[in-house]
Each structure stands twice: as structure tokens, then as C-alpha cells.
Structure 1
Amino acid sequence: RGWGGPPSLGVPGAMVYIRVDTCFDGVGCEGVQQMEEEDADSYLEENRDKYMGYLTMESAPGFVLFAKLGTSMFQVEGYQCHLYAAELPPADEEDDDDTDEEEGQDGITAGGLFRTATLPANHTNMTGFKRPGRGEGLMDGEEITLFRGVDAADILQGGLGDCWLLSAFAAMAEYPNALLSLFQQRSPSDTGEYDITLFNFLAGEYQTIRIDDRLPVIQGGMVCKCAYVQPTADGEIWTCLLEKAFATMFDNSYKTISGGVSTTAFAALCGVGADKLAYISLVEQGWILYQPVLDSWRPYDHDNFRFGQWPDGTPGNQPKTNQELHALLCQWDENNYIMCANTQAGSDTEFSTQGIVQGHAYTLLGARQNVGSIQVDLVQVRNPWGKKEWTGDWSDNSPLWDEHPDVADALKPQASEDGAFWIGLEDFCDNYPSIAVVFKDMGTNYEKVSNPKGDRVASVLGGALPGAAAPGSNLGIDFPAKEEKANVRRRKKRLMKARKVKEDVCGACTLL
């Protein structure tokens, strides 16, 4: 548990949580420093908008390595991740939901907070808004943070039909620096206010949207949870806040973001116009490319697409074959473009015989050509539900991985229920008849840097540190393969223990 300080102070405390046998991904870490843990704790607290924690190593006592926000964590024996977490002040009594109903023109309530986005009228199971970690019953006693290890697997859809938006979030999460740049705050706000910058494509300019941390909830007995997108397994609330920012910009209503296409989300997230977006659809003759017309918050209001142009300069209405499309997907993946794929029309309560959700948007994580000795073409996608995966060829538990170990060695598939899976090109085309892509280099993709072709990577530590370990030893971290990431996420609560951060509020209190 975190410590909130003496009750009379009414100020948040701070904690450093230690996750044992856990290591940061080296690509998100900065130079090794010789520093006592107490000093590292204080430095971490002072720089919490830049770093999520620091690493200590049994082989190098007295040395630490700071990890930037958005850095992934892996299970590795002999290492410990020290993670900063703030304990938020409780919600004031005058700021409860009763006063929240009286909103002024700018959305400010009588209690000084504001809710902005309204709930859909037909969502009768909603029980209002609550603030996480503020003593109102939502995530109380949990480790609340804004950002930690940003990951596509963080996004878990709730009870709102905004898979088109959340699949775009997951695609954006492959590029943590780009995602972090949307938020003016990088750590939990004591006041509950957050400023998020999105591109208002109707106005043609960036817009900073101020929201608070009141989130739509559903109450079931003693259990209260977020009604829509869920906080991450690490206690990050950025997913909830970003969803709320979209609902606020899109006509101040969650109803407006129930149903849409990912090109709309890409425009707002990536700051691009229609000329940098494509919606690619499968017709009888092959794949054709459309360009969206961004003149409405709701893309289904009318015909919002026109023919665009393929990268080779040919008209968008000139069809491409499956193989030609796949070659483009591979190239766009290498160019750090973000993409989503949509399934056949239908209700998201319907499934294909092999597990594909109908009428649903998935994140397109990547594509690989001519893999292994059989030269197979594959596509990797992820369900924003975080579950319900493809069960056919090349799925997580497909026997094809054992039959073709060179393909398995190249791609390192994860046999875990995380929503992500590989699928063969022809099966992909049969199940995903439309694709959205944004033609913009999104910067560093940590997964590509840290796991090129799924291989293990060398440490950024650069070798042995003088005096830090036994003579001749090497401090290079052999980072684990991608399939081990899911295990540490499930285990981390059992591996967690807590210790104090120096508390200077009253100059005297230091508690474990």
C-alpha cells in the first residue's frame, strides 16, 4: 500500500514499488549512474514526468539505470524495476456527482471540476462518474499512474462500440514517444485536470482539450469498474483519459464515438489531413484505395470517401492483388506507419467459425514476407478486447509452428490470450476486407528496435562497469524474447513489494 501522509496534511504521498526479477527494455533506458537507492528514489520523484522508474542489478550493486516513460518490462532473474507511484488526494465532498450536474458554459462545475463528455442515453446500466484512486470506490488502494510501459496490449475495450478508436490507440501505442506527446501531463494530476492535444481536422488545427479524471463507471454489488475502455494492468489511466478527450472533442458525447472508422481517429491522433490517410477496401476485382473526406465527426453520416492514389502513382480505383497489397503492408510497416484492419460487416456479438469478431476493428501490428523455408506470407493483428483470437492456421496454438520451427524462430509467436495473433495472408484477406493506414513516420517503434525479427537483443549498458561486478564479468542484459512479456504482466502483482520514498512534507515522517 502507498502512504498518504498524516491525515491532517491532506496531501498525496509517494511510493516506489519494486518488481523483482523484472528488467526494463534497454531501448528505453538511459546511461548507467552510480547512485544509492535513496538518492535514486528522490531523483525519480523529481523527474517523474520523464522517467517511470529505474533498474538495479544484483551483478552491479550501487549502479542504477533510469527508464523513460513508455518502456516495456520483461521477466529476468537478478534484476529489479523500481517504479514511481503517487497516492492521489481524496475527492473533496463538494466535488461529488451531485454538484457535477450544474455545469457552466465552459464545463466548470460548482465544485471546481468538470465532466464535459456526456453518456449515451441508452446506457442505462451506467451509474455515473467516479475518480480513480480518490476514495470514491474506483481503483482505490491500487497503484494509479498515468503512464508506465506503454504497450498495444494495454488497450482493453469496455461497453462502448469504439473499437475503431481503440484499435487506433493500440496502433499508436507501438510508438510511445508519439503517444506521450499528446499529453501535457506525464504523471497523475493532484487536481484531476489533464490537457490532451488532438488535431481538430474540421478546423484544420491542433486543439488542447482539458478534461478531468471523472470516468464513466458501472457498479455491480461492491465492485465498481470503468464502463468503457479499461485502465491498464499496470494501473495506467491514459487509455480512459484519451477516450474521454475524443468524446469531448467529438460533440461532447461518448455517443458520438460509438461507431466510426479508424482513419478519423488517425487524423486526430497523428495530426494529418485526408491526403495522408487511406481506406483500402476489397472488392470483386481486388483491393482499391479510397481517401477520406474529413468534414464530419461521424464518418457514417454520408459518403465520406473518394478514390485516392496508390504509392506507385496509379489511381486508387485500379485494383491490387492480395500479394501486391501484402508487399505494401510490409513496406508501410517498415516505414513506421500505423494501420488497422476491419472485419466483415455484422454485429460484434457474432463470430466466424475460427474466432474472428464480425463488424469489428483490429490493430494491424505488422506483416512479414517469405518467412522460413516455406516462404509464407503472414500478417499480425490484435483484437482491442485483449481476447477472442483467430483459431485457424498460424494462430497461437496452431500446429504449424511446430511443423515449421524456422518460421517460429523468426517470429517468436506468443501463445497467450492477449488478443494478438498471426494469420496467413489469404486468411487475412478473407476475414479483413478493409484496412486503414496513415502515411506518416511515427518515429521509434520500441518493439522493432528491441526485438528485430523477434531475436534477443544486447544490452545498452555496453559491457562491464568498473568495480561493479566480479572481474571479467559483463553487465550486458540478454533481454527476453517477446513471448515472455505476457508472463511478467500476469505475475507482477505477486512479485511486487513496496518501500518508502523520502517524504519531506512535514520534515519528520518517514514510514515503510
Structure 2
Amino acid sequence: MKELRRFGDQHYEKLRKGCLKSGHLFVDTLFPPTNGSLFLEEGRSSDIVWKRPAELHEDPHLFVEGASANDVTQGILGNCWFVSACSALTHNQTLLDRVIPYGNAQEWSPKNRYAGIFRFRFWRFGVWVEVVIDDLLPTRDGKLLFARSKTPNEFWSALLEKAFAKLYGCYENLVGGHLSDALQDVSSGVAETLNVKKFLKEDIQDKSGRLYDNLKTAFDNGALIVAAIAARTKEEIEESLDCGLVKGHAYAVSAVLSIDLNRIPNRSSIRSLLLGSKEKQKLIRLQNPWGEKEWNGEWSDNSSEWLNVSDEKKLELNVTVDEDGDFWMPWESFVYYFTDISLCQLFNTNIFSLSKRYHEEVVHDEWTTHGKKSGAPDDRAGGCLNFPATFCNNPQYSFDVPMDDCEIMFALTQREVSEGMKKREPYVTIGMHLMRVENNRVHRVHQAMQAVGTSEYANARSVFLHLRSLAAGRYVLMPTTYAPREQTNFLLRMYSDQKVRLTPLTKHSPKLGLFGCKSAQSVTRITIHGAALDLATDGVRAYAVLICNGKEVSNGDFFAVEISHVWEDRQMARDHLIGRAPIVALIDNENRQSKYELLDDSRRTTASVDVTVSAFDDPMYL
């Protein structure tokens, strides 16, 4: 583990050693077994009794036959967002071992001296945080009130929930929350929320089922997935539908697969057998954290559709008819009823891996005014594009995409300022804006340029931006708050399937003169919109080169443009000059669009280009 932070500076080994030496079981003074750890309101009374697992069962264990989705059943606390994430966690043993470290050493066992102390780990703002707790749990009438396992002597889920409540200040603070937050907390992954209807609408021409394929691939690669049916009003929260599903409620996804059907042969099926194919059904399995209330439509526990599946396959799929909250659905019904899918992925960044690998970039930064007035050169809290005067004052990062069709994912996370506190400070509304810029830009952008992608702006801990087919070129990403002058720290993570590096842009304009002591007096931008080539050959690819004082331009004034023949698709060839045209650099505040004829060495017209020349006497304008 790269870095570990101890919550409340509590050292598990030292505390455990002290308890064993004194002969007293651990009682956590930072999160004591009192009503203050349960409720937001101070001094509130209740009939809740705190008991240790040994007082609830004669043979307590952390795990009984490993972890499964049925080990995590929601209690009377409205925290299905966390319970569902824990249920999804059981399908990734590597992550589970990270969240519950040294499980065997914490187990009730003759080999381990019991001290009433346990430790768990959650990912926060780029590091794993170890939370130490005692094992006193809230009960009423001798039964656990909150998260629990269906196996009465298994306590890992109840203890994990207590550690999470400590991180949030009290149990009551777990009522209502963001699925993406819980998924990130137990995985360190990148959480993306998909709107099912929007995704399917964008993918309407794709008959191959891209959403299903993406979800199956992610699940097979260890992603944690939770689905929900959005409630439009408060009254709809936890409203049961006729199909057995519940609105405003989160379900953990525990399988995504396609199975063969064994049906009575008919003309079509005989044809399929002769062609070597079988009829298939796409299915998805979900877990209701309540441990009850299941889907009752096609492919539910007792439906006739299971007659088309062999007994061996049903045994392999662990198909049950118990009312345990675990059920299967056909994919078509799933995308009809469910509105949102929270997908938390861990991208493979191992350079020695044989499977698909992503390149990772991680940046810690902040939105800050530096104590300056709004819009000042050092102001780095400019707000979103709705505030054009200050928008470009935000932190900026440039990167180059070397080849077309690049997939890049950005995850922006703001610091949790209320960690361990009962009073929850509101999140700042955050988002991301990506622009395509000139290939030679090395200074900050001062006026918004062509937007390539924009994330949703959300009053949440994290937002996500997924771009699947970026063209080659240079880009600038701006993480922003919604309003100017909002200040907080942020973590920016980038994952790409090409080698892409983030470079912070800090300088406003180039320096000229001896030792760089003189500032630039003006700035010019040349934009080539397109070219009309007078060529009989098809398949010609062309590029433009800007020449200044005989050298290819990287910075400075632009005086001439050449368009050169690159090659034909049919064969490789040396680059061939098509033509050139002189362009006078403007020095006044002017924006001029013109068509220029390109002349070859014999002064013959070979093509024309549409060009806009923009010049400004303020070098910080662009």
C-alpha cells in the first residue's frame, strides 16, 4: 500500500497491545458507545444498548465461509448507498482484503488474543485511511439494529459499518448519501454514474448492445457496480412497484452474463443447431440490501423461463428460490426499469500486464484566490463558463494526444473537509471543461476556446468525464467550481489508453529580450479552417506548416503558411510541397478572415485556404 493515514492518529497495534497488557477490552474514546455516536442531536436519549458480538452469539466470527452478498443486510438505517457498495465489494476479494486488512489476524480464534479492537480501511483523497473501532454494536432487544449478516454469528459487515459511521461523525450521518462516494471509499476506483436512458438514446444506432458489453467487461475486470431506480419526489423514495422493485433504492450488481437456452427443437432452433449456434439470453443478477423484496417478472426465482436452462447451469449460477433479496432479471427488463448505474472501475496500470493497460496521471492542486481580487493574474478560482470574465483563471493542464481515437477518463475529487465531524460542510459544486487548443500552445488560455467535452456540474465529492474517441492534438483541461472565488483542494486523476502526460500551465505569455526580461507586446493567432486542393489524385492527406523567419513556428509572430503534400493512401512517398502563401501578421486589435491562394515554385495556383488572423495588443488576451 503506497500511503496510509491513521484516522484520529490512532495506532491499532499500540492500542491492542495496551489492552492485552491491561487485561481490559478496548473502548474507543473517539467514537464511544453512547448516543452521541448515534445521533446528530446532542443529548438525545434512546433505548439502544451497545453489545459486543460475544454477548449476541456464543461463537462470533468476523467471517463465516468467506464473504458473500448475503452477508450485508441493511438494518433500520437509511444507508442503502453504503450497504449496496459493501455487497458489491464481496465480489472482489482483492479489494475486500484491502478494506478489511489482516482478516485472519482479526478473527475470533484461539490463535488470536481477543482485545475487542478492530481496524478497517477506506480510500480518501488519494490515500487509504485506517479507522480503528471497538466492537460494541447498537442493539435493541438483543438484536443488531443496523447492518448485519443473515448468518447470525458473522459480524464483519456490522463492524465495517461502524467504522464508516466513525469516519462520518455518527451513524445518523449515513442516512442518504452518494453511491459513487461509497464505491470510491471501498475501492479507490474511479466512479462513473450512467444514465441508462441517455446512454441508450445516444447508442440507438448500435444494435450490438454497447451498454451491456461495457457493463459485462467492467464487471469481469473487478468493477463494483450498483444500480438504482431514481425517485422523482420524496414520496416516491422506497416506493414498491408492482414488479417487486423499489424506487429510490440501490441494488448491488452481482453478475452480468449471457446463457444458452435449451428449448424444444423447432425449425429455427434446428437451423441454429445446424449452423452451430444456440439461442442466448442476457441476464443480470442483483442484490437488494434489505434481504427481501425481489423482482417478480421474467427470470425471477420461480418463473417458467428457468425451465429452458439445464440443471447443471442453474447449479453453476446458484439459482435459489429463497426470499433473500438475490434475484435475476433479463437485460431488457433491467434497462427498462433501472434509471442509473454507478460503475466504479480500477484501471490496470501495470506496465508488465498482458491485458489492456491504462496510463495514469495524478495531480493534487487547489482552487484559490491567493488573497487577490477576482480576475487578478494569480487568481485560481474563476468559476464555470457562466462567468466568462473569470472562467480562465482556473487551474489549467495541457496534454497531447499522439494518435486519433484516444480514450481518456478524468476523475475530479474535492477534499472532504468534514471527515469525522457530525456537522457536514456542504460540498462545492464542481465540474470539468476540456478545450482543443493550438498544437504549439505552451501558455495559459485567457479566452475560452472550442469545447471538446464538459462534465456535469455537481454538488458532490467527485465528478467524471469520459471521452472515448479524442482526435490527435493538444488539449487543455480546466477543473472548475461552479461559482468564482470558491476555494478548496482537489485531486485530479486521468486514465488513458495512449501515453498522455498532464502539464500544468502557469505562465501567461512569452518573455522576449535579453534574459527574458521584456514582455511580449502583442499576440497573433492564425486559424486554418480548411483547404481546397486542386489535385486530380484521390486520397491525398495534407498538413499545414507555419513558417516564421525561415523556421517552423513554435511561438512568436506568424508570417507565412505552407501546405505540403504528405502522402497518398495507396503508397508511401516523400512529402511534396503543394504551395505557399504569405500572410501579414496583424498588430492591432483585429480579427480578419480571408481566402489565400497557394502558389507553387512556378507561381502556379494549386490550392486555396480559408484563414482567420487574430491579433491583440494584450498578450494575455489569448
Q: Specify the TM-score bucket, using the shorter chain as the normaliser.
A: 0.5 to 0.7
SS in 2 for 1:255: helix
Which residue pairs with 1:164 in the alignment? Answer: 81
Whether contact under 8 Å (1:114, 1:212) holds in the other structure is no
CA contact (8 A) 1:160 1:228 kept: yes
Report what 2:185 is aligned to. 268
Q: Is the 8 A contact 1:168 1:266 kept in 2?
A: yes
In structure 1, C-alpha distance between the alignment counterparts of 2:54 and 2:328, rounded to whole Å: 40
Which residue number corresponds to residue 253 of structure 1? 170
Q: Deviation digits for residues 227-267 of structure 1, max 9, x if unmatched?
A: 111244051111111111111112x1112211122211111
- Displacement of 1:183: 2.8
1:196 corresponds in structure 2 to: 120
Aligned counterparts of 1:408 and 1:228: Cα–Cα separation in 2: 33
Contact 2:284 2:328 in 1 (8 A): yes
SS of 1:390's equivalent?
coil
Q: 1:207 aligns with which of 129, 148, 153?
A: 129
Matches within 5 A, 1:44-193: 107=30, 117-121=37-41, 126-135=46-55, 139=56, 141-149=57-65, 150-184=67-101, 185-188=105-108, 190-193=114-117
Distance in 2 (alpha carbons) for counterparts of 1:376 and 1:183 = 36
Give 1:409 deviation, angstroms: 7.3
Please state whether the residue corresponding to 2:81 is helix, strand or coil.
helix
Q: Does 1:235 align with 2:140?
A: no
Alpha-carbon distance in 1 for matches of 2:280, 2:217? 17
2:320 to 390, 414, 417: 414
Pair 1:363 & 2:252 matched:
yes
- CA–CA distance in 2 between the matches of 1:164 and 1:123? 28
Compare 340-349 and 238-247 and name the one that shifted more. Answer: 340-349
Q: Give yes or no for the alignment of 1:424 onto 2:342.
A: no
Aligned residues: 300
Provide the C-alpha distance between the structure 1 equivalents of 2:324 and 2:95, rounded to a whole number of angstroms. 23
* Corresponding residue number in structure 2 for 1:278: 192
Amino acid at match of 2:123: F
| Cα distance in 2, alignment partners of residues 431 and 376 from structure 1 | 18
Taking the TM superposition and a 5 Å limit, the aligned residue runs for 1:281-430 are 281-283=195-197, 286=200, 323-345=209-231, 347-369=236-258, 371-372=260-261, 373-405=278-310, 408=314, 411=317, 413-430=319-336
Contact 1:126-1:227 at 8 Å conserved across structures = no
RMSD over aligned CA atoms reads 3.6
* Aligned partner of residue 336 in structure 2, secondary structure: helix
Q: CA deviation at 1:131?
A: 2.1
Superposed CA offset, 1:92-147 (max 9, x none)? 9x999xxx8xx9xx6276xxx89983335599895234123454xxx1x4321112
User: In structure 2, what is the equivalent of residue 226 of structure 1?
Assistant: 144
Q: Could you say what secondary structure the match of 1:389 adopts?
A: coil
Report deviation, 1:207. 1.2
* Higher RCO (CA-CA < 8 Å; seq separation 6+): 1
Residue identity in the other structure for 1:437: L
Matched-pair contact (CA < 8 Å) for 2:260–2:309: no
Which amino acid is the alignment partner of residue 360 of structure 1? H
Greater strand content: 2
Q: Partner amino acid for 1:337?
A: A
Identical residues among aligned pairs (%):
25
CA contact (8 A) 1:385 1:419 kept: yes
Task: Point out where structure 2 has 5 or more consecutive residues left out of the alignment.
Answer: 1-19, 262-277, 349-622
Letter in structure 1 aligned against 2:320: Q
- What is the alpha-carbon distance in structure 1 between the residues aligned to residue 156 and residue 330 of structure 2? 33
Do the aligned partners of residues 144 and 319 (structure 1) sit closer, same or farther apart at CA in structure 2, a change above 3 Å counting? farther
Q: Report how far residue 439 of structure 1 moved.
A: 1.2
2:291 partner amino acid: G
SS in 1 for 2:246: coil
Which letter maps to 1:132? R
**Aligned residues of 1:402 and 1:408 also touching (Cα < 8 A):** no
Contact conserved, 1:117 with 1:244, CA < 8 A, in 2?
A: no
Which ranges in structure 1 are unaligned for 5 or more consecutive residues?
1-88, 289-316, 443-512
| 1:408–1:236 CA distance, 2 compared to 1 (3 A) | closer
For residue 160 of structure 1, report the CA deviation from its aligned partner.
Answer: 0.6
d(CA) in 1 for partners of 2:100 and 2:246?
32
**Alignment partner of 1:386: what SS?**
coil
Counterpart residue identity of residue 37, structure 2: A
Structure 1 distance, partners of 2:121, 2:211, is 33
> Quick check: 2:53–2:155 contact (8 Å CA) kept in 1?
no
Deviation at 1:392, TM superposition (A): 0.2
Displacement of 1:199 in angstroms is 1.2
* Distance (Å, rounded) in 1 between the aligned partners of 2:50 and 2:84: 25
Structure 1 pair 441–408 and aligned structure 2 pair: CA distance change class (3 A): farther
Q: Distance in 1 between matches of 2:160 and 2:35?
A: 14
Which amino acid is the alignment partner of residue 415 of structure 1? V
Shift of 1:176: 3.2
Superposed CA deviations along residues 35-87 of structure 1, whole A, max 9, x for unmatched, are xxxxxxxxxxxxxxxxxxxxxxxxxxxxxxxxxxxxxxxxxxxxxxxxxxxxx
Change beyond 3 A, Cα 1:194–1:412 = closer
1:170 CA displacement: 0.8
2:35, 2:44 within 8 Å by CA — same for their partners in 1?
Answer: no
Distance 1:132 1:322 in 2: 53
Q: Kindly tell me: are residues 244 and 429 of structure 1, through their superposed partners in 2, closer, same or farther at Cα, counting changes over 3 Å?
A: same
Distance 1:411 1:208 in 2: 36
Contact 1:199-1:267 within 8 A present in 2 as well = yes
* Equivalent position amino acid for 2:179 in 1: S
Q: Distance in 2 between matches of 1:108 and 1:280?
A: 36
SS at structure 1 position matched to 2:142: strand
TM-score by length of 1: 0.52
CA distance in 1, matches of 2:222, 2:193: 17
Q: CA contact under 8 A between 2:200 and 2:211: conserved in structure 1?
A: no
Q: Is the 8 A contact 1:322 1:429 kept in 2?
A: no
Q: CA separation in 2, counterparts of 1:122 and 1:375?
A: 58
Distance (Å, rounded) in 2 between the aligned partners of 1:116 and 1:319:
55
Note the C-alpha offset of 1:282: 2.6
Shift in CA distance, 282/320, structure 1 to aligned 2, threshold 3 Å? farther
Report matched runs for 1:479-494 at 5 Å.
Answer: none
| C-alpha displacement of 1:285 | 6.6
